[in-house]
């Protein structure tokens, strides 16, 4: 074929994301030919087989709000390749930590669901939970600003049920076909291999600024929810709407919530940065230590149950994973508790090899038509083939059901056991020796949801409001939390080098809250403000604040499970230390001793106290509150120690409660805060002061200090 006879392989393509200029360049196709791309003459997007793609934004559904169809070869082609991009590390949620425990049912839910796990009050079901970050690689640090995975495997008597959720109840995208693009944008940039475990770079914010449906999630990840103090102090959510089905075949919608019994708590961004330097395994160590010491983390499983009538009248589409249902509209019903009471025996065998699949449900629970959930059901199972080597990953003990298993599946890579007997097919006529048989009475049956409509690639108009709930989340925060969100956006966007991306993001923020947009624009020197982004639907101003969306409004009612750091030097008062130990034990608070040298400290009465951390390796960012117990003679030396000075400075700047004795005054002087002592700093002068200090610490932070510091000229 001559050059004149060759077909023209370039066409005018459209970019539904509304991208800016496409610079002229050339691209080599799979067959080696050069495609000239200039301006609006961009290469047409194709599948791996070379088939042009007409719509890369929506999966193929039955009707506007119907389920995703298995025949969608474009979705399968895209997600299949994405699922197999990494070996053997998980593509997402690579850095995780798990623990064993149990789920205990409070009451029978037979009226709502025929799921066996919900039938008998007080029954305990074995559980395994894996917490994780999303964007970072396996060797990244724990305190990244990121979504946290919250995946629960329940080993029920009728099979494994996986609730594969996050610590944030919404997601970035509405359709699973966009998931590879989201993660590609969030991961390290492919040409340079950095930055990783962070979203503060051009690619991520370029994608987000072209994806208005992400704006609600952006508010969550820029909030303190994305930097939790501990796995133990964060919520978990099933994200999607599911269904519960009872024995009569009646179904209701449900959203799953895990509420921590010890309240919510986060860290400050400056703390997160310093914790990552001091202890990149901070969350892992915290969970391991708590369980090992018998302070078992506990959550309540709560259900938001609603029917089709509510779904029809609700302001937003319940199948849209970028939306929540406020608890004020549908209260959460506690139905059981999850307790983690023992650590793993081997990290690789359990935490690393555990396989979660959203498709793993049990009779009495069913999926909805949520297009993101439908795509996840395909993706998770497919991923295990690459990551765990074959179809027999359920033979690995951590993945194996704890109930009887009978089937005809056999052989394959790493088969640990095969069915016994002559028959390996069904139906067969071998009677009792013919193996298991289906059971309509006990077996899983899908809810008969009506499905109508033509096959089409569309996004339902009921998914089109991208800003109203983002605004609702923002106005639900305290003023302190709102400032943290503005600071987070300012920091992240300051790392973006492309001006037009910053402008696009501020344009979106103007549709959420004008004050927020102005604050962020000021941090980026954007003057004047860009025009508000075009919106499919105007932002609703009538959605009220929801207190349940704030961390600070849902803190703990005790200091249980938190950790006090006691900075001591030789000759420290033993009476004060003993009183502090007693108060901590009564509260359920952990205590660690930090000192200028490792080993032991000899106190005022000659007692020896074991040192947990040398001060250079035990900065105050690792603790929820601090106590300064200097000995009278050793105080000048402690005050001249730079690490001790930083210990005090950071605790003060991070608005933590500080207790001290008079002998520690030189250290306060050297740290430069004696003249700035406030009500968040307590002198342990009286015998009852240690107990009073612990009670004060239940507030977690002295937030007024931050306001006073910001008011300084």
Could you give the residue numbers annotated as active site? 93, 166
DSSP classification of residue 477: S
Residue 435: left (phi > 0), alpha (psi -120 to 50), or beta? left
H or E segment to which residue 129 belongs: strand 124-133
- Tokens at 149, concatenated: 């995975």
Exposure letters 322-354 (e unless 16+ CB within 10 A, then b) = bbbbbeeebebbebbbbbbeebbeeeeebbbbb
> Is 153 strand, coil or helix?
strand
Q: Give the DSSP H/E element, type plus range, for residue 154.
A: strand 148-156
CB atoms within 10 A of CB 397: 12
Question: Which pair of structure tokens corresponds to residue 488?
Answer: 């987070």
- Rounded to whole angstroms, the Cα distance separating 559 from 645 reads 26
Q: What is the Rg, in whole angstroms, of the alpha carbon atoms belonging to the chain?
A: 28
Neighbours of 432 (CB within 10 A): 6
Give the Cα separation of 116 and 156 in Å (integer): 7
CA distance to 286, 470, 629, per residue, from 552 (Å): 21, 18, 30
From the CB of residue 295, how many other CB atoms can be counted at a distance below 10 Å?
16
Q: Tell me the C-alpha to C-alpha distance, in Å, between residue 533 and each of 220, 512, 539, 701.
A: 20, 10, 11, 37
Q: Which residue, 132, 104, 105, 125, is CA-closest to 234? A: 132
CA-CA distance, 626 to 678, in Å (whole number)? 15
């Amino acid at each position: 074929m001559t050059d004149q006879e060759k077909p023209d392989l370039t066409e005018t393509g459209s970019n539904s994301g509304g991208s800016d200029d496409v610079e002229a360049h050339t691209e080599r196709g799979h067959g080696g030919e050069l495609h000239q791309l200039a301006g609006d003459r961009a290469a047409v997007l194709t599948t791996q087989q070379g088939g042009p793609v007409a719509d890369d934004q929506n999966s193929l559904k039955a009707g506007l709000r119907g389920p995703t169809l298995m025949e969608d070869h474009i979705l399968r082609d895209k997600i299949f390749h994405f699922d197999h991009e990494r070996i053997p590390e998980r593509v997402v949620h690579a850095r995780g930590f798990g623990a064993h425990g149990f789920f205990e049912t409070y009451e029978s839910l037979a009226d709502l669901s025929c799921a066996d796990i919900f039938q008998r009050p007080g029954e305990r079901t074995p559980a395994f939970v894996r917490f994780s970050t999303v964007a970072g690689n396996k060797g990244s640090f724990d305190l990244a600003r990121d979504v946290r995975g919250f995946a629960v495997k329940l080993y029920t008597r009728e099979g494994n049920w996986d609730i594969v959720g996050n610590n944030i109840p919404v997601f970035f995208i509405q359709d699973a076909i966009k998931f590879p693009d989201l993660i590609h944008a969030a991961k390290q940039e492919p040409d340079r291999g950095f930055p990783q475990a962070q979203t503060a770079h051009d690619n991520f914010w370029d994608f987000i600024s072209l994806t208005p449906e992400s704006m609600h999630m952006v508010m969550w990840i820029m909030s303190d929810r994305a930097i939790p103090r501990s796995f133990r102090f964060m919520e978990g959510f099933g994200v999607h709407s599911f269904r519960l089905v009872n024995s009569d075949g009646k179904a209701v919608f449900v959203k799953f919530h895990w509420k921590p019994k010890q309240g919510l708590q986060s860290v400050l961004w400056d703390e997160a940065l310093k914790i990552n330097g001091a202890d990149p395994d901070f969350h892992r160590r915290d969970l391991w230590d708590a369980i090992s010491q018998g302070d078992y983390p506990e959550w309540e499983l709560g259900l938001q149950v609603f029917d089709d009538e509510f779904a029809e009248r609700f302001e937003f589409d319940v199948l849209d994973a970028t939306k929540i249902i406020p608890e004020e509209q549908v209260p959460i019903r506690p139905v059981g508790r999850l307790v983690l009471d023992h650590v793993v025996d081997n990290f690789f065998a359990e935490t690393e090899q555990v396989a979660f699949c959203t498709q793993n449900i049990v009779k009495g629970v069913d999926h909805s038509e949520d297009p993101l959930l439908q795509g996840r059901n395909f993706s998770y199972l497919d991923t295990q083939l690459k990551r765990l080597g074959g179809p027999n990953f359920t033979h690995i003990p951590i993945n194996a059901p704890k109930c009887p298993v009978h089937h005809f599946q056999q052989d394959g890579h790493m088969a640990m056991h095969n069915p016994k007997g002559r028959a390996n097919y069904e139906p067969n006529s071998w009677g009792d020796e013919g193996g298991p048989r289906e059971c309509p009475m006990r077996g899983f049956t899908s809810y008969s949801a009506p499905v109508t409509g033509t096959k089409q690639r569309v996004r339902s108009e009921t998914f089109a409001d991208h800003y109203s709930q983002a605004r609702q989340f923002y106005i639900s925060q305290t003023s302190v939390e709102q400032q943290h969100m503005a600071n987070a956006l300012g920091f992240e966007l300051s790392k973006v080098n492309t001006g037009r991306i910053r402008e696009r993001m501020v344009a979106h923020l103007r549709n959420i809250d004008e004050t927020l947009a102005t604050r962020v624009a000021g941090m980026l020197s954007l003057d004047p403000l860009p025009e508000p982004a075009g919106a499919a639907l105007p932002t609703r101003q009538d959605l009220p604040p929801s207190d349940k969306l704030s961390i600070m409004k849902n803190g703990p009612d005790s200091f249980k499970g938190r950790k006090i750091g006691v900075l001591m030097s030789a000759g420290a008062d033993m009476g004060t230390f003993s009183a502090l130990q007693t108060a901590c034990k009564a509260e359920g608070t952990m205590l660690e001793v930090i000192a200028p040298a490792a080993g032991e400290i000899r106190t005022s009465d000659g007692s020896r106290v074991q040192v947990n951390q040398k001060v250079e390796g035990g900065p105050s960012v690792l603790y929820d509150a601090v106590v300064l117990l200097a000995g009278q003679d050793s105080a000048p030396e402690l005050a001249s120690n730079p690490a001790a000075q930083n210990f005090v400075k950071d605790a003060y700047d991070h608005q933590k409660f500080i207790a001290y004795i008079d002998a520690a005054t030189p250290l306060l002087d050297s740290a430069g805060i004696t003249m700035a002592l406030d009500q968040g700093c307590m002198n342990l002068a009286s015998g009852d002061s240690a107990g009073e200090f612990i009670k004060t610490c239940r507030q977690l932070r002295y937030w007024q200090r931050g306001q006073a510091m910001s008011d300084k000229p």
